[in-house]
Structures are given as C-alpha cells and as structure tokens.
Amino acid sequence: MKEQSGIEYCGWDSGAMIANNLIIGNSGPGGGVECWQSAPSIVNNTMVGNLPAGVRCNGCSPEIINCIVWGNYVGQITDFVHGVPAVNAIVKHSCVESGFSGIGNISGEPLFVDSTNGDYHLQPDSPCIDTGDPNYVAEPNETDLDGKPRVIGGLVDMGAYESQLRVIEVAVDIKPQSCPNPLNVKSLGLLPVAVLGSEDFDVSSIDAASIRLAGVAPIRSSYENVATPVSDSNECECSIEGPDGFLDLTLKFETRRIVGVIGEVNDGDELMLELTGVLSDETPIEGSDCVIIRGRHKPLNKADFDGDGTVDMADFAAFAENWLQSSIVEY
Ligand SMILES: [Ca+2]
Ligand SMILES: [Ca+2]
Ligand SMILES: [Ca+2]
C-alpha cells in the first residue's frame, strides 16, 4: 500500500503488510489503522493526529515495527475499548507518544520538519533517525515514501521517511601543533585552524568556501599536512602531533571576528568552537575543538558611548555632546 493517508482496514485473519505510509488525520471508528481479528505487519509508517487512535485493535495482534505513532487523539495503539493500550500488539523499535512496552521503543518527540503544513520528514536531530530495528536489512532497491533509499547511515529510521541527511564528523584542530589552544581576546592576528584528513577522510572533498567556525568564515584556506587527529573522543582533547601523511585543510580566521561572536568570557575559560561546512556533494560536516581564553572580553553595550564598560552619566554627556553633529549638513 502506498497511500498518502487513509484508514487501513485489516479484516479477518488478514496478514496484511502495511509499510511506508503517512497515516494522518483520519477519523472514524478506528482512526489510523483498524484491525479486526488479524495480525498485520505495520512497518515504517508515520501515524499522527488520528481519531481515536493510530492503531486500534479488535481481537488482533499487529506487529508494529519502525513506526512513529504520535499525537493521536484518544490513544496511540489501543484496544477496541477507547484509549486502553492494545495488550496483544507487538510493538518494536517504534516512537510512541507516552511510550509503549517492547524492545527498542522510544517516546521522545519525533521532531518533524513542519507537521503543521503536512511535512512529516525528520529534522536532522530527530531521535527517530537510525533508531529503527538495528537488524533491519532493506530489500534491494527498497525505498521510503519519497522513493529514496530506505536505509541511510547504516541503520533504518522510524517512520515513512528515511532521513537522507548524513552528517560527517570531522577532526578539527585549532592551532595545529599547539595543545592547549590559547585564544588571546585582544589579538588582531589570525587564528589557524585545520580540518584533519585521515585514511578514511580526504579533505579535498570539502567545499572550503562553506566552512564556518562559530559562524565566522575563514579569510583564506590551503592544503598542507600539519597535524594528526586525536583518537580520544573527549571533545576538548588535543594533541601537539604534527604531520601524519594525510593532507589537512588549513584555514585562517580573523581572531577579532571570532571574539566578536563568543560573548562575555573571562581569562582561563575553556570554550568549544563548532566548525560546520559541506562537502562538494553537499553532505554536511561538523566538528569542534576547544580554546582557552586569555584576557577578558565583554561585548560592547551600544549605550556605552565612552567605552569604559559601564553605562552612566558620562555616556549621556558624550551622547548629548554629539547629538547635534548628525544634523549638521555640509554643502
Ligand atoms: Ca538511517
Ligand atoms: Ca591544537
Ligand atoms: Ca594530517
């Protein structure tokens, strides 16, 4: 079945397979899927906003796998009696509002892209990504509701749509060959940063123009072998190890622009800076490294006209003194 939505009716002894459907906003005796005396397999469906339930069973034992059952009005997976959870339903690796007993089930908000406007694709940080049945093996050429590959990222998602977005984690080294990485907030110089290549990751696949560190673009980039990735997964772990035989993407950022976006910091603070970008095929990449703040930085208050860090009468005087300047027009 490949319906956008609709009441699926599984009658007497049916062993129907209901897969890859959006079952949204139905109302009727059963709601989304109604089963009578049957044992259908309900796989990779997104069932939302149905009245009374996402799945309602009358003497049936459906097997519900890799589904999202959320925001249905009276209950999610219920017995014939309104709102009572279906005792004979076998529910696995599914996201069910308020939870449901069974292996691999979760109850976190599924984070649809825009459910108000009918977009039930998953946001990149949805808990339903890669949390379907870990042993699920897609058939050759099996697709999701969009006709896109059913399994991306090695593990199947819950729901009708497989998230096609695969974020690649990259190794980032702020100040290659220095550890820790001091950041002098008064510096007018450049902050060197490298995205590190490895046996598995060729940095020439990166679209260097897309790179941002804390949202700031680099002023230049190059390819050199400058450092070795740290194997420790602790995010602020760093190393002084130099070239390793794999080319790195080296970038230079204006320190004052980085300092401009990090907010108020004090001497000795440790701060993680996030690096984002895309590969030339648009696959997103992300990574991070940490800096130790040297000096103290407080973002300028716009009303602090004399720049002494406090807003007081002296600022008002400076403001008043300059008031008329703006109305003087030179001919
Ligand atoms: Ca996946
Ligand atoms: Ca470093
Ligand atoms: Ca390297």
Q: Give 84-97 pLDDT, tens digit per residue.
A: 899 899 999 999 99
| CA 150 – ligand 3 centroid, Å | 35
Cα–Cα distances (Å) from 114 to 6, 98, 110, 111, 118, in that order, read 20, 21, 11, 8, 6
C-beta separation of 183 from 293 below 8 A = yes
Question: What is the model's pLDDT at position 7?
Answer: 55
**Ligand nearest to the backbone CA of 225:** 3
If you measure from the C-alpha of residue 250 to the centroid of ligand 3, how many angstroms do you get, rounded to a whole number? 10
Non-local (6+) Cβ contacts of 41 within 8 A are 15, 16, 17, 18, 19, 62, 63, 65
Report pLDDT digits (tens) over 97-116.
Answer: 999 999 999 999 999 999 99
Q: How many CB atoms lie within 10 A of CB 306?
A: 13
Distance, CA 313 to ligand 3 centroid (Å)? 55
Strand partners, 42: 18, 64
Average of per-residue pLDDT across 136-151? 92
List of domains in the chain: 2-156 (no CATH), 169-294 (2.60.40)
The dihedral through the CA atoms of 179, 182, 187, 192 has a sign that is positive
Question: Which of helix, strand or coil describes residue 256?
Answer: helix
Tell me what pLDDT residue 10 has.
Answer: 66
What is the Å distance from ligand 3's center to 228 Cα?
5
pLDDT tens across 222-262, in order?
999 999 998 765 678 999 999 999 999 999 999 999 999 99
CB atoms within 10 A of CB 14: 15
CA of 178 to the centre of ligand 2 (A): 4
| Residue 1 pLDDT | 35
The span from the CA of 124 to the CA of 131, in Å, is 13
Residue 185 φ/ψ, nearest 5 degrees: -65, -15
Ligand 2 center–CA 265 separation, angstroms: 20
Question: How sure is the predictor about 182, in pLDDT bands with cuts at 50, 70 and 90?
Answer: very high
Report the distance separating Cα 131 and Cα 94, nearest Å. Answer: 8
In angstroms, what is the span from residue 198 Cα to ligand 3's centroid? 7
CA of 131 to the centre of ligand 1 (A): 8
Q: Output the pLDDT for position 211.
A: 97
User: What is the three-class DSSP state of 165?
Assistant: coil
Tell me the two tokens of residue 245: 């035989």
Tokens of 71: 């925001």
| Of residues 283, 292, 275, the one with CA closest to residue 171 | 275
The whole-number pLDDT of residue 21 equals: 93
Q: Are 255 and 293 in contact (CB under 8 A)?
A: no
Mean pLDDT of 17-22: 92
- Centroid of ligand 1 to alpha carbon of 95 (angstroms): 14
Q: Does this model's pTM top 0.75?
A: no
pLDDT reported for residue 269:
96
Residue 293, by phi and psi: left (phi above 0), alpha (psi -120 to 50) or beta?
beta
For residue 85, what are the β-bridge partners? 78
> Smallest Cα–Cα separation from 20: which of 120, 88, 130, 105?
120
Across 26-46, average pLDDT: 87
From the CA of 268, how far away is ligand 3's center (Å)?
A: 28
